[in-house]
Structure 1
Amino acid sequence: MTQRQRKFLGTIALFLLIAVYAAIAVGVAIVLQVHNASKFTELLYYVVAGLLWVVPAGLLISWMQKPDT
């Protein structure tokens, strides 16, 4: 697979990853609010959820940038 193909597929996968991740993160946040979680718990969740998507996105971008063999 060429780098150009990987970038195309990776871009689509990245958009899907962000959309699915955001939907799941919002769902968990709603559950936290319904169960009256403490403000500290909510803050901790938002910090973790706001940064956690970077790990799979970084791996995907790293794969996209591999040179052609």
Structure 2
Amino acid sequence: MTPSWRKPAGIFAILALILFWCGLVASLSPMVGRWHWVAQLLFYLVMGMIWIAPLKPLLQWMETGRWR
């Protein structure tokens, strides 16, 4: 079985997604820092889980070569 180029490309895409998401959340932190601590907690919990949503199709593409 020959190695696929999709796995290294997918790993690069996952790392790029994480860097982008961290930058986005960090850029919002001055505004979020003025909120009540409960609102901050909810914001960071939601933002910490949202970035996982694009991973399922990406991981499926890495394994099968198809998006669906």
Aligned to 1:4, what secondary structure does the other structure show? coil
Question: What is the Cα-based RMSD across aligned positions, in Å?
Answer: 2.1
Q: Could you tell me whether the CA contact under 8 Å between 1:3 and 1:66 is conserved in 2? A: no
Query: Letter of the aligned partner of 1:65 in structure 2?
Result: E
More helix by share: 1
Larger RCO of the pair (alpha carbons < 8 Å, separation 6+): 1
Residue in structure 2 matched with residue 63 of structure 1 by the alignment:
61
Residue in structure 2 matched with residue 17 of structure 1 by the alignment:
17
Query: Letter of the aligned partner of 1:54 in structure 2?
Result: I
Measure the CA separation in 2 of the matches of 1:39 and 1:21. 21
Number of residues paired by the alignment? 65
Structure 2, unmatched stretches of 5+, are none
Which 4+ runs in 1 deviate beyond 4 A?
none
Question: Cα distance, 1:15 vs. partner?
Answer: 0.7
Percent identity of paired positions between Structure 1 and Structure 2: 26
Q: Could you tell me whether the CA contact under 8 Å between 2:10 and 2:58 is conserved in 1? A: yes
Q: Tell me: CA distance 1:67–1:30, structure 2 relative to 1, closer, same or farther (3 Å).
A: same
Structure 1, unmatched stretches of 5+, are none
Deviations 1:23-56 (A, max 9, x none): 10111122211xx211111011010011111111
Q: TM-score, normalised by structure 2?
A: 0.80
Aligned to 1:54, what secondary structure does the other structure show? coil
